[in-house]
Structure formats: structure tokens, C-alpha cells
Structure 1
Amino acid sequence: MTRKSGGDTQYDSELEEAADYEDGDQGDNEQEQVTEAHHQLLKHLVDGTLHEIPSLELGNQHTGKGNMTILHLLLSDQQYRRLSSSKIRRFLDQLLNADSKRVKEFLSSRDINGQTALALAVSGSVRGIQVLSYLLQRKEALEAAEVQSDSGWNCLHELSSRGSSKNPQYIQNIEDCIKLILSSKSKKLITGQNKLGETPLHLAVKYKRQANPDWQLKLTSQLIDACPELLKIVNKNSRSPYQYRLDTLRAIETNTSSNNDDIARFMRNCYMHFEDRGEAVKYLYGKEDEELSMEIDLSEHSIYTFSRDSLTSLSQHWKFENILRYVYFPKVNFKNSSTDSYPVKDISKKQGQSQHYNSNDEGIGRKDLQAMFDWLRNNRGVKKIIKVRVIDNEDPPHSDEIIEESLKNFDVEVLDWFKFDLCSETILKAAPDVQEVHLYSSGNNAVLHAWSGCDGLKKLSKLKKVYIDIYQRLETYHRTQTILDAFKDRLKAHIDGIVIEERIEKYSASRGNGLAGTNSVVEGGSAQQTHTWIKHMDTFVNFIVNIPADKERKIRVALIDNGVDGSYSRLGQIIKLGTSYCSHPHHQGQLNNYCTPSKSHGTQMASLISQVCPKIDLYVARILDMEAEDSRQIDVGSVVKAINWAVDHKVDIISMSWTIERTEDNKTVLGGGLATAISRAHSERILMFCSTDDQGGLSKDDVYPGCLPGTFKIGAAKPSGNEGEWTDKGSYYTFPGEDLKVHLPPYLASDNDKLASGSSLATALASGMAALLLYCVQIVHNNPNTPPETSLQDARTYNNMDRAFKRMTDKNKQPRYIRAWEHLNPDFKELSKAKGIDELRRVMMYLFK
């Protein structure tokens, strides 16, 4: 290497090793030399004579080593990185004195590996990060930080991926650099995506065993605070940062739950605060992820009755996130049972005392909701509830002590417990970190003083907003307004920046919180006798369910209706999966749960289907329907989604016990989206059963979905087998649909004493019959004594089920009434297992061959 004389020993030593830098990207491993101009720059840098060099010359040349600038060289070579901070600082100051355009060009220059000097600084030593921190104080450096490498990484990508260091000084310098970048609010820099579509947030949350989790969590919080939009940006695999965190976590720690991961839990909390529930679902769950419930909303109930047993039943299929967006409980009635699975903590017992639930000194305050909150906490694993809304305005309400016990440790942010004059001390104990509280005042000025005093709401350190409803009762309106204004003034004096919204209401002892509804089936007189058809089927079903099955696969039946009450243990145990497309009328993006309906129609249908064929897995899809003039108005869009959901889950049967009449408003979606969904299900060999509109001779031909090809349109028959008075003449088949007794949950006990009628009931029985036949075919097919030539695997086709139904009818009658007892008769119970299966094989061969 040519070298000028006159250099000092330190300079010669440092430059000697710097010049021997090997560029690993050169195929022939050629040792490149530093240009003469940069040789002089380095000499002046070491000598401290940079002031002799014009500033423009600092950034207009490369060293000749891998396309690196002098700054690349200083940050990458071990010898140059040992230069004193003062010399490096003087060099940087000289550099930054150049005009802005030249400085930006210099800092944006990429080496042969596609990296800028700024990005290279991150992967270096503490010195490199210190250099970067110094440079990022200039606008030109922040703009240069946006430059991406060949792999798409910008400077913030590099910084966000450095969570593995154990060097506290290095981590502190990294944090300083990140703060400077985030303060720039450069969207291009903060939301930039690399070639894999990863943002800095993706890299920050990536799980690594050697990572510093505390630093990762801190960085995650900083990135989201600076740009919440990062939560919604997905990578090339369509994975959000949260999903990516879980992917990388599960790839390494296969037995670790996301509930135990602080970073996943933090991000989940961020998504739960999204105003639009649909967006939260989109970024929390991928196509392969199990969607969990994010809220409990029983607002469609005026009164909700539950018991220990019903909670046990709900536990089978109602799975929650450990953070809930929203909990709404109306008036509730808790009925205890002898088999308590989740005992309520008896907070009334004092040490050394023996007290009982009904002892006189316990007080008359309600305890009902404590059981529900205990269930959420202890059985469902819920750790946090963002918003709590409870209707507790009847006498007696829940006691303060029960409210405190119910809500403690749930980290409630918004508390709306509708109890008059709720004690502020109770609020403090129940929700110490509450940010928004709803107060209900009876007009008692003493309570208003307590709320707004030094020992009142002021103790809630995070409180930002107060809603107060004050009920005018004893005092005049003017007096009520006066004491309310005084309350507001006192509270504002004690809490800086508090927002208060007020409302004065006229007190009414009869205030309610729900609307009554009607079922879509017609109810008749008392249930004096069981329908003969049902009696025969019960006997045959008893024979079938007692046949041992080595390869049993339950028949998958999708029930598209207004939901099924999962608290009813008889039905809760057969619900395999459920979803809801029933949007909440008052909360954007929120859906009414499929297993807590306020109306019993879907529950009735599920009861009838399972009565005919207990060997089913029930797939419940709740659709949006509204009561209007004693009829149901079905939202077609929700039906289309429900059908496609059922197809995606490969069900065997879809039961739809309702009708949609064609109108000018819905004709496009009926003939388009609905027809397409039905056609798709038909092509997948799914049997679909639909109701008629129960208008007899007035029935129209274009009632959906029964008018579409590939569906069975079912009408109701009287106990005699004759068609009902209002049965559509265009029905394909009729099933019992008049004067039927339907098993319902205990809280609908009054309905159990009535008979119901309608084609919706007949449709449910038809769906159950089809499921039963498919199950019988499975028994026959799986029996080792069944000859191969008698295979009945094609039973699940429209034509074959149609043939089987026709052979169970009187062909001289229209519509055809299914005379099930003639083939699936009570005589089966008298046969041995072997003879019974032989006879069953003969019947199935007759029906399907």
C-alpha cells in the first residue's frame, strides 16, 4: 500500500489495520485499498486537524472499500471504532456543517450490502449507537433513516430487532435513538415494511429465547403509542403483529399459553379497545385460529335466569378471552342447585363465627351476580373487563360488599353499575383504576357531597369522565338542578380536567330495561298427549342409540336461526361450534352471542332435531332477525354468511326454519348472494331443509330459501297426518307440525305446558329425520357383516335423500306425509342386536337403493 511519510505512530498503526479490511462480498477476496483522499481524511481525523479539510469533501467520495463512505468505515472497522469520542464528535460536526442536501446524500449512501451508515451503526458497538443518537438529532439524518436496505429494512427495523442485548448501556442508547425517531412522527419510517412485509412492531414483538422481555414490552408500548396504526398492518403472510408474536412464541415454546405472555397480553388489550369489534377479530384471529368470545351481552333479556348447572353447561362451549371488552348484565335471577361447581364465597362469615345464608344479620342485599363474576374469574379465566354495565335498580339491589367482591381484580376501566347512590368507597375498592364512571343519584344531596368531597371520587387517580343521572323525585326540578350544579363545581375543584356529563330524569318506579317478544311458532292449548309420530320415533331412537359404534361419527347439523340456549344442558352438550351474525343494535361491531338468545325459537328447533336424532354435532349460526307485527324479518346478508360458514365446516345438513318473502329491497341479494350460497352448499352435497310461509292457499311461489333448487321445502301436518290448515300446497313433504310439545329450558317452564304449531317445527323434524337416516346408514356401513356391494355412502345426496323420503310416504297423497313408523317402527326394540342391525340394513337398502 502506498503511504505518505510524516504520519505519527498511532495513525500509522490504526490505518495499517484499517487498510487491510477484507470485503467478504468479493468473489476473489481481493484486498481493496482506501482511496488517497480518504487516507488523508483519516489522518486528519486522528491528528485532530479536520478543520483543514473543506466540509464538502467529507461526503462526496467513497473509500473504495465495498462502496463504503468514510462513516461506514469508521462504524464498521474495529480499529476506527476505538477512536476517542471527542475525535468522532469533531468529525461529525464537520460533516454536519455541509449543506443539507449533501449531508442527506452522504447519510443515505448505501454500501455494497445495501446498508446506510446509520443502519450499520445499529449492528455495531455502543460507540456506533452513540454516533447514531448524535446524528438523529438532525433532520437530514432522520430522513436518511428512512432509506431501506436491499432486504427492506430501515433504521427503525434495525433498532427494533435489538432486544437480545444484555448490555444496559447499549440498550439505553438504543432507546434514545428510538425516541428520536418516534418523535419525528415519520410515517414512512415508523410504518415501513421490509421485503417480508414486517413493520418495526413485528420485529419488536418477535419471540426469541435470548430476548429481553422487559425491553421488548417497553418498546412495543412505545411503538403503539406513537402509531396505533401499526396494530393493523399485516405481513406477507397476512399476520398482524399480535398473530406474529403468537406464531414465533409457539414455534419455540410449544407449551406456553398466550395468556401467560406479557407482550401478547398487552397487545390483546390494545385490540380489545378498538371501537369496531370486527377489526379486533380480524387482527386477533387468523383463519386457523379459534375465535374466543370478547364480551357477554345479555341486554336483549329483560330478566336472565341462571343456575350452577346452566353455567356448567355453558362452560362446554362458551370460551372467553382473558380480557373482555364488555359485560352487560340485566336483572338476573340465580337459582342455586345441589351440585354447586363454583361455590360463591361466603363473605358474611367472620372468623370464629358460624353463619348461614339465611341468618338474620346477613342483610337482604342481592348476591346473584357474584356467582356470574366468580364463574368468569375462576372457571373461564377472565382477568380483565374493560367495561361493566349492570342493571341493579330494583329493591333490593346488590349490597356494596357483594359489588366489591364481584369486581375486585378485574381491572375495570368503565363502570356503569345502575344502583342508586353507589358509595364512592365501594367504587374505589371494586375498580381502583376506573377511568370512566356512571353515577345514578336519587337526588340525595348528602350522597352528592360525598361523591364530590375530598374522600370521594377524588381518590380515583385515573378518573377522566363522569356521567351522572339524577332522578327528580322529592325536590323540585329547580332544586335538583341547583344541587347538581353544586356537585359539578365541587368535583371540578378537586379533579383537574374532569369531564362531566349530566342528565336529570323524572323518577318512575316502573322503569324497565327490556322489551317483550313473541315466538314465531303458534302456541295452542295444554299438552294433554304426545304426538303418535313422536312416540314411535322415540322408541326407534332408543334402539339406535344403544347400538355400540366402533367408528361413530356424529352427523353434523347446522341450525341457522336466532341462537340456541347453551345453558340448557340437554342442548349444551351437543353444540359442537357456534357463531353469530346478529349485530348488536346499539354497539358497533358487537354481536349477540349464539348461546344466550332471548327468544326461544332456535332452542325449540334444536330440541326437536336432537329428539329425533340425538347422535348429532350441532353447529349453531345465529342470524339477524327482528320482530315486526308478529312476524320475523330475516336479514339476508347474515343468512348468506351463515350458510357459507356451515359449508366451510363441512356439515351434512342445514336446517332453516324460517322464510323470507321477496321484496323490491331484497330481491337482488336473494337472487344473488343467497342463491349462490345455496348453490354452493348443494354442490358440496349438503342437505338443506326449509320452511313454508304457513299461509295455505295464499302462499307465494317465491318464498326463500325454499323456492331455490337443492332445498327441501317442508310443511306442517296435523296429528292425523293430514296437511295443516295453513300448509303451503307447494310443500315437498310434510312432517308433524301441529300441536307438538317441545322440550325447553327450565326458565321457559311456562311454555312447556303449551302445544306449538308451525312449519318451522316440521322443518326441524325433517332435519332430524335426515340426520337419523344418515346415522343409520353409518351403522350399517360400519358393521363388519355388511357385504361390500351394499355400500350406502351416497346417502348424503339430494336425490338419494329425496328417494328415501318418497319411499316413506303415501305416494297417492300430496304433499307427501312422512310415515316414519312404517319403516323405523317400534318392533326394533324387540330384536337382538344382530337381528336388529340386519333388519336396519334391509330398511336402509330399501330406502336408498
Structure 2
Amino acid sequence: MDSQAESLATLTRQLTGGISAELEIADLDDYTNTPFDDQTRQIDHVLSGFDSDIEVAKERNAQKDLKINELREKKLREVQQTMHSDEKLSIEGIKPLTKSEENKILADCWQTFGRERQSNWHCLTKEGRNFLHHLAYQPWVRDSRPCPAWVVTAAVSERPDLMDATDLKGRTPLTAAIAENNVRFCLAVFTQKTGKLEELGKYLRRECTIRESSNISDSELTCLHAALTPRHFSNQNGSHRAKILLNLISMAPREMFTVTDSHGRTPLHLALEFDCSSLPSQVNIVKMLLQRGPEALSIAKKLDSDTLPDRSTRPPRGPDLNRPLANVSSRRDSGSKFETYSLPEALPKTTNEIPAYAKRRELEEKEHRERQAASDEILHHLRLLCLRTQDPDKASQFLKKLEGNDDKVLWFDFGPRKKMSEPEFKKVFDHLGFESVLQYVAFPQIDVKTIEESGHTEGRTEWIPDPVVIFFDWLRHKKRGVKKIIRVIVDDFEDHEASHNSHSDEGIEQALDGFNVEILDWARPDICPSSLLKFGQSLREINLYWSGRNPVLRAWSEAEGLCKLRNLERIKIIKVHGTQSSRRTEENLHSFKQRLEKSWSQAWPAGMHRLPIIEIDASLPAHLGHALAHRRGLQRGAVQPSPFNSHNINPHRWMECMKRFSEEFRQIVGKLSNMKRPVDSIIPGPVVVALIDDGTDKDHSDLSFNRPFRGTSFEQYQQGSRYRGVSPWWHSSSGHGTLMARLIAGICPSAVIHIIKLRTFAAQDSEKLQIDTKSAIEAIKYATELGAQIISMSWTVKPPEEDDTSFRNALHSALTDPQGISMFCAASDQGKFADRTFPHAGNQGSFRIGGATATGKTLDTVGDKDKLDFVFPGHEVVIDHWYEDVDRKTLDEFDAHSGSSVATALAAGLAALIIECVRLGVVHTNENPEKQNDPDIAVTANDLALIRKSQALKQAMLSIGTDMNTGHKYLEVWRLFEAKTTRLNEHRRNADFLGQMETIAGLARHFLKR
């Protein structure tokens, strides 16, 4: 054969062979099928009709192939005619049929076929199957003449309504194809155009509802559940499996993402357990599920440790990530939730084995790193979506289950405006541990004290032009480790009377740099667009505060303005000032929208990024409007000192006695904590008091000596407000909670006080704050789960109008906790009436505390006096004598605050002190072996467990000494504590720490009735 003929033959093979005669459908070339009719079934006329349609399709397919080949040959002849006989044929420049040419022929083929044959495709076979079912059930195997894949495409295109029909097995066509591992059918369905696919997804909605009354198995509940079932497509490679899943997720109706199987699992749960063989594909599957169906995060089936990636324990296996590495043994330390790993006990002995072992080990470590990276990425996307879509309390619960970290804070809210130095700020907040991603950060106008004001360096002053930068730098510090903030809220309006200047553009840039903020509500008018470009590439929403000046609008809407922020979805213009008329303002805003639309379309042609929604608001957000209206003259929680005239008031013996003893006790505890101890020395943890109130201003000087506070808040800002979030527990709404914490810490300085903030609201017919019952129930549950030994509730609420079962159950769970919880509740101060107020009325196993005068007489306002457990000094005495900085208005502002509220805090503090004396008695016994064998002297861990029980604690309190005239309800503390205080003082002055500890141990034995 001469060279020209050989070249021509080669060209002919290229043009007529190696090119698929069908529409290219995501690597379908590997999938073939047997003829449809296997000649083994009974006669089914509908089935026969379907088989006849298939045969017609095959004939049309042959005709289509013939037409394509004819066009190829025609093109080949045209090429040959342009060549000279002596010219060597080159095939590089010869192009076969284009894809569009082939697709046009194919589309004409299946569209004609569909229109002609579709009229009977809705008919059902004996198995209840329509034509699409018939195609879905066919066994697609290799080495057989393929049925045209376009038949599926044609059927779906002409009759999409057949997609929602179910056969006698309860399967839709798509679910049937997945269950039968019919990959070719699935891929053919997904060749529809995007718009068509979205429309097709609507026909899958029926799967989301028909399952409730059927006996469908979990693996075939919906097409998504089926596709995520491990045994389906198990023999296919990961890329085809991933393609099917990603296409299916993109077309599924939103309702399908929240359908749960008998175990409560949504498709998201299944995806996290799913092993896709390809980690990048698995990450993409989870990401798309989160994007399309974020509601699945709140479904009842919890994303628990058996479902979610566990970064802290085992090497990951796909999203489940729980399979240990080969040749690595895992062990779980006793009492630990973490697993550690050790190498095999023996290494290979022969030289030849060592390279193979090292290579295998290297591959295993690489696989482990890859799986760990995939796990981290999945966790990151789960965390982000949760923080973007869930309320703070739900997000906190979810992430605690996800990552098992109870101490991490998901948000930071400074609280109301106050003046504070940087060292003071750090002292108050340095103990907080943050997640790497925060849901939101909120700052009011902050007045940072100068060095001179804070007293750190005499005679020096320091001007801080952008004070909030200090606090964002504090969050950025590696100790806090915050890397991303989703929402930032800053009140930054100028207030010349208060000497507050807004932050500069440079200051805002420095504050937000690197945090990848997504929603910005920085209330400073006319932020420069160039500043936004420096830190705002992640912005999705932004509130822009506008002074009314048109040049600002022009700057925001020009080519170098907001249009450069490609991720923006919503822009809100808030007008805060302005001298222009309403008509001119409207004209300027209208022009702003037009310019922004133009600049956006030029910056992102062909719809690469959708134009953000633009909102115009002529009023300030609620939180800022309120702040501006009350900025001068009202600061919630701030109280003014009451007049104090020492000549008209006699010192109160009860408080005087306990304050003196508390001071001695505080010094013992402080010295004990600073002492070096043997390695095997065991010191029981201090008593935990859960203070359920309206928060605590933890920067108060009376609380500075106490150990670091912890807390949580059940008060969320009003729903619908742009200032959505949690009211910080480190701020007391009325000042009441701060006073209660001061009283408890004042009596028992070593107690760990855990602040639990209730939700409060203003009643319509009263200026006083009311307690939300639901938040009270949640707070009691939280205190129980926390493991508190004492719960202090210095408030009362009316019995729930609806069913009070939840309230009673929460109280019962707390009071029957096997570890021992004592609950102190305030009596109602509503006069001489039956007291049916909660929490005490919900379970009378709690301590009911009433307020007393300086002489021990129960206050006249206390109802049901005979049903009190104890009476303690009331606020009339305490405020006037010991907390002169607290105005009576602080107590009167809160409707639930009563004359008994202070008495309740004192009772809780005294109970905590009794437990602490026994705890120190245990420490003293453990460190003095000679005392351990004498049961009359030794104070043991069993004694500590006993004193935490309510009944034992009540007997210990009665042992202090009571006044018979008060029905043995008023504790005359001086009977026991005055002499002990004198003895402790003597030991301290003589540097006799052992004597101090023996005195406390003696008190412990007294409480234990030794």
C-alpha cells in the first residue's frame, strides 16, 4: 500500500471510528445492556408494548448512526477533493463532526421518537411499572449490544410526570434504577438541561410524603437515601458514584433533605457515614447537601459521635472517619474520651522486610493525613453552616455534640457601654475560650481608660484613637485563636457630649483584617468603599449607614466600589442624617441603584455573580435607636450610691459576724491553693453554686478576688432584630444578679459561681421586668447537667398558665439528682396570702427562704411564714449596712425581686460555706495520716458526699443555732462563727496554718455531728 493510500486509510479510521455515535453522557461508554425482552415472562401486553418501543428505538438508533456516518464520509470526500495526487496526506488539520453537529442529529432522533411513542408510556405492567420503570429495571451488563441511552433521555423529557409514580415495590423510576445499580439510566436522566432538571426535581416531591404510610425500607425511602446506601453502586468506581450523587442533590426538592428514615437519619446523616472511596468527592457531597438542605441540621436525629467525624479520637474513614490505621493499635485511656495510638510491638527483623514496611507505613500515614484533612474540611463546613443558620443556643448544642467541647464560646458581646481600661478588660474576659469561628461579635461605644485613669502608671496619659482595635486584636491573639467572625456589630456613632469619636477607616480596617467577616453592621456613617475592599471580600451582607450626602452614594456605586465585593447578597442603606429634601433623597437613592446595577454588570458579566438585593431604611435598627435615645442619662445595670449615714444605723450582727469569718476563710483557701503539694495529693474540687438570675457584672470589684466565673445565657435578643444574638451573662440586666453574686461570694469566697442568665421582659401593665418561664426551666435543667451542688434562685414567678409539667419535671430532676443538689428559692413577698409561686411550689423539696429584720423577725410581706425553711437578713438590712452602692431601685426594678431575694442568696452562700468547710476537712485529713484512722476525727470523701445531700445540709445549718422566737428558722450565726473567727485570726497572726486548718476541720466535724 503506497503512503497516500495508507494515510487515507488512517484518516478514514479516525473519522469513522473512535467517536461515540450517542450523546456523550458522563462516561457512558463503559456501560452496555442485554436485549430488553428475555422471553421468560408471561404475556403482559403493556410490557410487550414497552419492548416494542425499545425495538423501534434501536432501529432509530441505527438510522441515526447511518446518518452520522454519511455526514462523516461526506466530510472525508470533501477533504480528499482538496488534495493533489502527489501531495502527502496529513490528518492533523482534518476535523471530525463537531459535538453540536452530532447532538443535533441525536436530538432530532429522540425528540421524534418521544413524540411518536409516548402516548402509552403511563400504562402499567403487572408489576405496576410505567415505561420509565421498565427502563430502570433492565440489567445493564458488558459485552452486549447497547440500548440507546437517549431512550431514557427521551422518555424523561417527554413524560417527566412518570418520575413520581411508584410501582408495587413502592419505588419511583429513579429509586428503582439506583436500587438495581442501573448507572446508565441515572446518568441519562441527568443529561437534561439545568432548568429542566430543576423542574424534574418537583416530580420527586411525592417521595417525601408517600413514605409515611408505607413499609418502604430505609435504603429506598427516597432516591437520595437510596443513592447514599453503601450497597447501591458498590461495584462502581467512585467518580461515577459521586457524579450521580452530586447531580441528584442538585435536582432534589428541598423537602427531601429533611426526610428521615426509621433511625431519624436524613440524607446528610447518611452522607457523613458514607464511604465514597474518594475523599474530595465526599467533601463535595457533604458541602452540596449543606448548601441545598441546611434545615437537616435541626432534625431530631442528633449528629452524634457515631455519625459525625471525630477529630479527637480515631483516624478518619471518609466522613465517618472512625477506622484506625492499619498496623496501629488504638487504646482508650481509662476515664478519657481520647484514644491514643501506638506502633506495632515488633519491627521487621530482616533487612529485606524493612523497605517494604517503611513504604507501607509511609502510605498509611499519607492516607491518614488525607482523611484527617477531609475530616477537618467537613467539620469546618458543618460548623460554618450551623453558625450561619442556627440560633445561638441551638448552634451551641449542635457544636457541643459535634466537637465535644463544652467550654468554647461561640460569640462575644461586650454588653452595654462602659469605661474600662485594657488591663481591666483582660482581667474580666481573659478566661473565656473561643471557637475558631465566632457567630457574632458585638461592641457598644467603648470608652477606654487612659493609663492615668486606670492607675497603672502615675502621671502618664495615653490617647487611643481607635479603641475597639485593641479588643479585636485581643480576639485575634493566638491564646484566643479566633480566625473568622461571621457577623460584626459595632455601635460607632459620634457622641460629642460623651467625648466619643467614631473610629477611622484605618482603625476599622485594622480591627477586621483577616477575620473574613460575612455580615457587617458597623454603625459609622459613610464608611469608605476602599476600606471595605481591603477586608470585605467575604462579605455577604452589609449595613451601610449614610449621612445623606450624595458623593458617598456615588463612591459606593462606582466601578471601584461595592461591585468589587463579588460575594455580596444584600446591601442595606440606613439613612441616619441628612439635610436634603425627601424628593432629592429619593432621586439620589434611585440613581445609586442604577449606577450599582451598571457597575455590577460590567464587573461580573454573563451573570457570574448575582446582583445583591438593595434595601433602603430610613430608621435606625432597634438596638441603635434605643442606644442613641438613652445614651445620656440611662445605662442599664448602672446604680448610684445611696446616701449613707452611719450615725443613724447600728451595725447588723449577722452580717458583721459572717463578713469577718469569710475574710479569714478566704485567706486560708488562698494559701491552700498556692501551696506546693505532693504529686499524689488529691484535693476535691470546690463547691459549685449555680446562680440563676439576670446575669452578673463580673467586673465588679467585690467579685475580683473570686475564682474565674463561668456562665451561660438563655436570654436572646428579640427575634427579627438585626441585633440578633445572646444577651451576655457577664452583664446584669437590672443589677440584681450582680448583687446576688456579691452576697454569695461574700459569705463563701471559695465557691465557684456559675452564672445562668434568664430571659426577662417588660410586662405591658408594669415597668418592672418579668421572668420568662421557659428560660427558667432551661436554666434549671442546665444547672442540673452542670453538676452544681447548690442552685440559688432569688426570684419567684406565677404558676405557668398552661401545663406546668415541664417546670415540675425540671425541679424534680434536680432535687433527685444522685450527686446531691440543694435548691434555695425565695418566698413571695405578696403579703399574708398562700404562696403558690414557683419555683418552690413546683417541688417542696427545695429550701424556701424568707427575709428577716435585723432582730430576726420575719418580714411582714412574706406569705405562708409557717412553711418557710429558714429566714435570713433581708435587703432592708443588707443594702443599708453593707452594700451602700446599691440603690433600692435596683431591687424594685425587677418584679420578681423581693425582700426575700437577698435572704436567699445569703442562705445559698452559707450552705456553700458549710460544704467548703467539710471539703477543707477532707484535705486536712488526707494530709495528716495520724488523723485518718480515728473515725471521730477523720473527715472523708464520704462525708463530703453526704453533706451535699439536702437533708444533711439542713441539719448542718440547724446545728449553727436558732432563735426559738422565730420558730427555729433564724440562724444566730454568731453562736458558732464568732469564736471560730477569733481562733482563726490568732492562728493567722502566729503563722500557724496547721492550726487554721484544724479549726476549719473542727467546724466540719460539728456540721457532721461528730
Residues 29-178 of structure 1 aligned to structure 2 (within 5 Å): 74-75=139-140, 80-83=141-144, 85=146, 89=149, 116=176, 118-121=178-181, 151-152=219-220, 155-157=223-225, 159-160=227-228, 171=239, 174-175=242-243, 178=246
What's the CA shift for 1:450?
1.9
Counterpart in 2 of 1:773? Answer: 914
Structure 2 stretches of 5 or more lacking a match? 1-31, 33-37, 43-47, 61-116, 128-132, 312-318, 325-338, 341-370, 455-459, 495-499, 602-610, 676-680, 887-896
Superposed, 1:510-525 pairs within 5 Å as 511-512=628-629, 515-517=634-636, 523-525=642-644
Contact 1:121 1:132 in 2 (8 A): no
Q: Distance in 2 between matches of 1:416 and 1:807?
A: 58
**In the alignment, which residue of structure 2 is the partner of 1:822?**
978
| Larger relative contact order (CA 8 Å, sep ≥ 6) | 1
Q: Deviations over 1:80-113 (max 9, x none)?
A: 413365x5659979999999999999998799xx
Q: CA deviation at 1:701?
A: 4.5
Q: Once the 2 structures are TM-superposed, how far is the Cα of residue 232 of structure 1 from its aligned partner?
A: 3.6
Change (3 A) 1:329 1:48: same
The answer to whether the 8 A contact 1:313-1:572 is kept is: no
Q: In the alignment, is the contact (CA less than 8 A) between 1:313 and 1:568 conserved in 2?
A: no
| 1:235-634 equivalent positions in 2, closer than 5 A | 235=301, 238-239=302-303, 244-246=308-310, 249=320, 251-252=322-323, 261-274=376-389, 276-281=391-396, 283-286=398-401, 289-291=404-406, 292-298=408-414, 301-303=416-418, 305=420, 307-311=422-426, 313-316=428-431, 318-335=432-449, 366-378=465-477, 379-394=479-494, 395-476=500-581, 479-495=584-600, 497-504=611-618, 511-512=628-629, 515-517=634-636, 523-525=642-644, 531=656, 533-543=658-668, 546=671, 550-566=682-698, 574-575=707-708, 577-587=710-720, 590-597=725-732, 599-626=734-761, 631-634=768-771
Q: Per the alignment, in what secondary structure is the counterpart of residue 181 of structure 2?
A: helix
- Residues 556 and 540 of structure 1: is their aligned pair in 2 closer, same or farther, counting only changes over 3 Å? closer
Alpha carbons of structure 1 residues 829 and 632: separation in structure 2 relative to 1, 3 Å: same
Alpha-carbon distance, 1:144 to partner: 14
Cα distance in 1 between the residues matched to 2:399 and 2:583: 51
Shift of 1:227: 3.6
Q: Deviations over 1:156-196 (max 9, x none)?
A: 345446899999986257425642574263856x6555564
Structure 1 residue 478 displacement after superposition:
5.1
8 Å CA contact retained: 2:254, 2:293? no
Query: In 2, Cα distance between the equivalents of 1:474 and 1:412?
Result: 32
Q: Is the Cα–Cα contact under 8 Å of residues 420 and 440 in structure 1 kept in the other structure?
A: yes
**2:482 maps to amino acid:** V
For each residue in 1:470-499, what CA deviation from the matched residue of structure 2 results, as whole angstroms up to 9, or x when unmatched?
345544555545544444443344346554
Q: Determine the structure 2 residue equivalent to 1:649.
A: 786
Cα contact 1:374–1:406 (8 A) shared by 2 = yes
What SS class does the counterpart of residue 733 from structure 1 fall into?
strand
Q: CA deviation at 1:407?
A: 1.2
> What is the letter of the counterpart of residue 265 of structure 1?
H
SS class of match (1:437): strand
Aligned-residue CA RMSD (Å): 5.6
**1:331-368 CA distance string (max 9 Å, x none):** 01334779x9xxxxxxxxxxxxxxx996xxxxx88321
- Equivalent position SS for 1:412: coil
In structure 2, distance between residues paired with 1:163 and 1:382: 42
* Residue 221 in structure 1 maps to residue 287 in structure 2: yes
Shift of 1:652: 1.4
Alignment of 1:699-738 (within 5 A): 701-702=835-836, 704-705=838-839, 708-715=844-851, 718=854, 728=862, 730=865, 732-735=870-873, 737-738=878-879
- Which SS does the other structure have where 2:727 is aligned? coil
Determine helix, strand or coil for the equivalent of 1:825: helix
What letter matches 2:467 in structure 1?
D
Q: Which moved more, 1:305-314 or 1:762-771?
A: 305-314
Q: CA contact under 8 A between 2:850 and 2:859: conserved in structure 1?
A: no
Which whole-Å CA distance do the structure 1 matches of 2:201 and 2:619 have between them?
60
Identity across aligned pairs (percent)?
A: 23
C-alpha contact 1:582 1:592 (8 A) present in aligned 2: yes
Task: Please give the secondary structure, in 2, of the residue aligned with 1:438.
Answer: strand
How has the CA–CA distance of structure 1 residues 242 and 264 changed in structure 2, closer, same or farther, with 3 Å as cutoff?
farther
**Paired AA for residue 695 in structure 2:** G
Inter-partner Cα distance in structure 2 for 1:743 and 1:84: 96
- 1:159–1:174 CA contact under 8 A, matched in 2: no
Number of residue-to-residue matches in the alignment: 755
Output the CA distance in 1 between the equivalents of 2:163 and 2:596. Answer: 55
Counterpart for residue 29 of structure 1: none
Deviations 1:688-746 (A, max 9, x none): 23345678x7797455546755314142554xx6569888594623247243545999x
2:403, 2:515 → 1: CA distance? 29
Secondary structure in 1 matching 2:980: coil
Q: Residues 758-797 of structure 1 correspond to what in structure 2 (within 5 A)?
A: 759-781=900-922, 783=925, 784=929, 785-786=931-932, 787-788=934-935, 792-793=943-944, 794-797=946-949
The correspondence for 1:212, drawn from 261, 275, 278, is: 278
Structure 1: gaps spanning 5 or more residues: 1-17, 19-33, 63-67, 341-355, 359-363, 746-755
* Matches of 2:280 and 2:447, distance apart in 1: 45
* Structure 2 Cα separation of the partners of residues 484 and 470 of structure 1: 10
- Residue equivalent to 1:801: 953
CA contact (8 A) 1:232 1:240 kept: no
Question: How far apart, CA to CA, are the structure 1 residues paired with 2:159 and 2:803?
Answer: 67
Q: 1:121, 1:128 within 8 Å by CA — same for their partners in 2?
A: no
Residue 112 of structure 2 aligns with which residue?
none
TM-score when scaled to structure 1? 0.72
CA distance, structure 1, for counterparts of residue 266 and residue 626 of structure 2: 57
Name the structure where strand makes up a greater proportion of residues.
Answer: 1
Counterpart among 267, 277, 290 of residue 200 in structure 1: 267
Task: Output the CA distance in 2 between the equivalents of 1:89 and 1:284.
Answer: 45
Matched residue type, 1:384 = K
Give 1:231's aligned residue.
297
How many angstroms apart in 2 are the aligned matches of 1:357 and 1:520? 28
CA distance in 1, matches of 2:512, 2:834: 54
Contact 2:825/2:846, CA 8 A, preserved across alignment = no
Q: Please give the secondary structure, in 2, of the residue aligned with 1:659.
A: coil
1:779 Cα deviation after fit: 3.2
Structure 2 length as normaliser, TM-score?
0.62
Report SS of the residue matched to 1:655.
Answer: strand
Local SS of the residue matching 1:467:
strand
2:468 partner amino acid: L
